[in-house]
Structure 1
């Protein structure tokens, strides 16, 4: 079987996620993948948007929307909108391909990752929230109508323990954590934003090896308020958006990296030496509590971000 029987696949169920999906497609293309790049879209995506996606993706495929309609389990995640992620199981219907790699629309490919096609179904990286579960933002699978039918049956009879696709897929592929270590992708293939602050020493040590970044959570790089954008940078001649933002906790920090090509106004600005030094000191725990990092200054940024 040749490379033309393999594809990267992403999914857009809202107009907003189409922005992220475009970045997924462009980042794969930028880094020279030899595989097809496919996007599944639901009927609520406008014809205009679908035409725009055709300039990036090899195939734009319309699929029916699926919703778990499970508010009780979704309430545990605090993300009631994730019920429609059940639509993700439609990717098993792409039987024109022998093997695919699924990438959530809120991921960013940092280099060529075609080696993922050497993995078997179901290969994925551990979820940082519960490492015996895999994170369903990046996974390798084999399209199959039989598997799709079994997943549909499982969705109807068993449902999902989190109300979304991740709970469903982990329940269906329940032996993932113990079956075959070769199906455990290294974390660098699904580096979630949360890793930046939960284990900063490891991030500083291994972060430079990251291959795919995943922007988990309700706040996405493409819908952050302008106040949250601190600087635009040029890294190795590739334009990235680096965003440092705060949420409910004053010292709860996320670093976003996002390709800006075509999705944000303006060009790029270099990192100022003083800003880089401030970031380094922050990461080392050397905050300027009496000056720039004083409580009232952080509170102002927090209030702008939450508004």
Structure 2
């Protein structure tokens, strides 16, 4: 039989190997985390904080051109987007793909500030965008709560650059679209709308994520002159534009199939279908207020949740359409990926992070296979799997019996052995801390822009893997403490020799680990297996799955440490 010192040495080797693999994974993942749409400072998802020096409020086109922006205009009408940080690359690419999928023949123009790298601009050019370099228009920070010059939300540091769309005077008409938009049907008919055409939201305010407008150098210059005078209720361009076009509340509605509006109109309203607000859809229990067939533009406006974040699909079912469009994007050249990090994190996650926990688990089984009782425990578990119905009945009886007893002590042992004071409390704290650390580490390791399937899979794998790795080391520590706590009167007792012959509590431990892995899978999979689509029922099922998982974890945290403590005491 392998004594406690040998177990300690083997466990240390296992811990060292796991730590080395985990450290390697963290280093590689850190090197690849320069992903578009990475989490911004302060918990914001869209954008990083303001750069050290934002560009002045100058007329667009003053920024250095770089390698991008060499395409020539082909038509008099265009779809326009804005990118003022590399973080918006993925959203802009999917937006462009969705527009092309509608069959339009208009130009696709993207306004790129000096903060956007030449590599990102080249990727967009490869997608068919006409890249026009512009200067960043600084956010003046004027608003109802403004105290200092730069009092505005950190994610809005460059949004005023959107005003440069009015300076695209080489076009007669443009349709501006935010990068968190998905176009689902052709909307070329909007080029016939006169003046500024937008969709009204609540409180008679319009959303600036979708705008049809006539470029005008005079209007652009006037906006720049008033940018520090008009207050913005949002702290960004939308509030400013609502003040600038204050007469919008009296604007008529543009109907493509209806009577033509007066071409001299300064503003007009678009119907809701041209700016489908996902946030309102969620709040309305997953229902549109108009026929879904009339929704031609999806706008992901639900706070910080954006379609490129893998977890957003759990809340917004339309993310599946966004990801389907994403799948049609052309692959990014390897040289561009190496230069920007775009795509490296996702590839690393699929090729390394997915198989790594399984490889480590397989290696741990091989290493522990020579330890006393481990192979027998595996055989018993295999037999239980064959007799699954009987095993399930026994499991129900087992947990019912356990819940009827006080968890303060493990089952009685002959000889009056008892656990040290506050042993269960310590075990519970260690277990909860390990679980929280595992969740935080998993969220940090997994790229936020990974496909949803891999996001759920990796979260499940790595939370389970890291928790079991940490908790296994605590069980090893309990065994060591048990061996050290053995008194001289315990040596040679019948209890000691009988327990030692039986080996370590592998069967109980492996059974708990399998239960943790199995019940943990119900948390992300439950709603999808049952076809639940609405948000609140899905959240209810997740809460139920978490409660079931916590019951299993509670047993593991309170029972297994005591078993390993006494195993160490009796096998020393």
Fold match by TM threshold 0.5: yes
Which residue number corresponds to residue 191 of structure 2? Answer: 117
Mapping of residues 1-307 of structure 1, within 5 Å: 4-70=75-141, 79-127=153-201, 130-182=202-254, 183-200=268-285, 202-203=287-288, 206-216=291-301, 217-222=303-308, 224=309, 226=310, 228=311, 243-245=313-315, 255-257=318-320, 258=322, 259-261=325-327, 262=329, 275=528, 277-280=530-533, 282=534, 293-294=543-544, 296=546
CA contact (8 A) 2:143 2:233 kept: no
Cα distance change on mapping 1:28 and 1:276 into 2, 3 Å: farther
Deviation at 1:102, TM superposition (A): 0.3
Deviation at 1:39, TM superposition (A): 0.3
> Secondary structure at the residue paired with 2:291?
helix
Separation (CA, whole Å) in 2 of partners of 1:26 and 1:210: 18
Task: Tell me how large the CA RMSD over aligned residues is.
Answer: 3.4
Separation (CA, whole Å) in 1 of partners of 2:548 and 2:98: 33
Separation (CA, whole Å) in 1 of partners of 2:145 and 2:162: 16
Deviation at 1:278, TM superposition (A): 2.8
CA contact (8 A) 1:5 1:98 kept: yes
1:66-122 deviation per Cα after TM superposition (whole angstroms, max 9, x unaligned): 1224186588x9843113110000011100100100001111111211111111221
Separation (CA, whole Å) in 2 of partners of 1:191 and 1:156: 31
Cα distance change on mapping 1:131 and 1:207 into 2, 3 Å: farther
Unaligned runs of 5+ in 2: 1-73, 255-267, 330-342, 351-450, 454-524, 551-572
Cα distance change on mapping 1:105 and 1:268 into 2, 3 Å: closer
> Secondary structure at the residue paired with 1:125?
strand
> Secondary structure at the residue paired with 1:275?
helix
Deviation at 1:178, TM superposition (A): 1.1
CA contact (8 A) 1:79 1:218 kept: no
CA contact (8 A) 2:169 2:217 kept: yes
CA contact (8 A) 2:91 2:180 kept: yes
> Secondary structure at the residue paired with 1:195?
helix
Separation (CA, whole Å) in 1 of partners of 2:139 and 2:272: 28
Normalised TM-score (structure 2):
0.42
Cα distance change on mapping 1:136 and 1:256 into 2, 3 Å: same
Q: What count of residue pairs does the alignment treat as equivalent?
A: 268
Larger radius of gyration: 2
CA contact (8 A) 1:74 1:164 kept: no
Separation (CA, whole Å) in 2 of partners of 1:298 and 1:208: 40
* Greater percentage in helix: 2
